[in-house]
Amino acid sequence: MVYSAYQLLNIDTGFGHDLAKRLDVLGFTVFAGCLHPKGDGAKALGSKASKRVHIVSMDVGNDKSMAEALDYVKTKLPKKGIWGIVPNAGFNVMGDVEWLTIGLVHKAMNVNLYGMIRLTKAFLPFVRKSQGRVVIVSSVKGCYPCPGDSAYHATKFALETVADSLRLEMIKFDVKVSIIEPGDFSAATACQNKVQFKRYREEAEEMWREASDSVRTTYGKRYLEAMIEKQSASLNSYPTTEPVIDALEDALINLTPRTRYLVGGTNKMFDINAMAARLHPYLPTWLSDWLYTKWTGCDKFPE
């Protein structure tokens, strides 16, 4: 039933890295796209994986890089072809709409949305031929709005719509398309490490430099500092990626995969992000606005 190859995306850390290891153990050939093929994540995977795992240099934000990755995969492709593709690259950028620079918004869109489309368009002909699977990693944040994180949420909302449309388009080819919506797994991936926090601070400085005098005067620099502190204080993430990897595996090899896999992730009783994703479609706007205001404190300035 299952062909021997999977095309993954972004195995530097997190979901892609751990899924590549899981599929390798299950005996599949894996083409693992990696932004940093000489980085620690790729080296760690390469040192432990079998020869079935091929680490492929790939920047989903770059057309030339994607074309080169496609050419490489074609030279190594097993006779049975590719059964599934798993676009999962992600880039987060924080900030209120008034603070965001167009450059940062474009970068988030280029990775989260355009990157998924680039990868899917490149490898979909193989999946159509095998009547296989497309499993797209989105986020619970593609299901509800959030002040201070609009750019990231927007990319995930858009990704969900494209994935839903693709699922309908692929029915005639008997290709199944699933969406994975992880909750808070930031500590188990690369979202809460020193490199990311350094990037957040640099982006906050960029927003401050490019902001108008009116925005600087109205908000003050403390507003941006509090934004970084709030992100740093988020320590309730689920400690491992295993629940998400289980969902990815099921979407790839189950005869009847689900359309959506909403996977809560927290070390507390429940994941508030996943709860918001589940409830938002059923809440009247006045109530959801009130709840999100109380949750985020967006109606007042930080102390």
The pairing of beta strand 53-57 with beta strand 29-34: parallel
5-190+236-292 in CATH: which number?
A: 3.40.50.720
Beta strands in the chain (DSSP E): 5-8, 29-34, 53-57, 84-86, 133-137, 176-182, 260-263
pLDDT tens for residues 209-268? 999 999 999 999 999 998 888 776 555 566 788 999 999 999 999 999 999 999 987 766
pLDDT tens for residues 59-79? 888 999 999 999 999 998 877
- Catalytic site residue 152? yes
pLDDT tens for residues 5-64? 566 665 556 888 899 999 999 999 999 888 887 777 778 887 888 888 998 888 888 999
Q: What angle do CA 110, 111, 117 make, to 5 degrees?
A: 80
Q: Which of 3, 6, 144, 152 is catalytic?
A: 152
Q: Residue type for 143, please?
A: C
pLDDT tens for residues 261-303? 999 877 666 788 899 999 999 999 999 999 999 988 889 998 7
pLDDT tens for residues 124-182? 999 999 999 999 999 999 999 999 999 999 999 999 999 999 999 999 999 999 999 99
Higher pLDDT, 45 or 190: 45
Q: Which two tokens stand for residue 86?
A: 């798993």
Per-position b or e across 281-290, b if 16+ CB within 10 A of its CB = eeeeeeebee
The pairing of beta strand 84-86 with beta strand 5-8: parallel
Q: Where are the domains of the chain?
A: 5-190+236-292
Global pTM value: 0.90
pLDDT band, very low/low/confident/very high, at 4 (cuts 50, 70, 90): very low
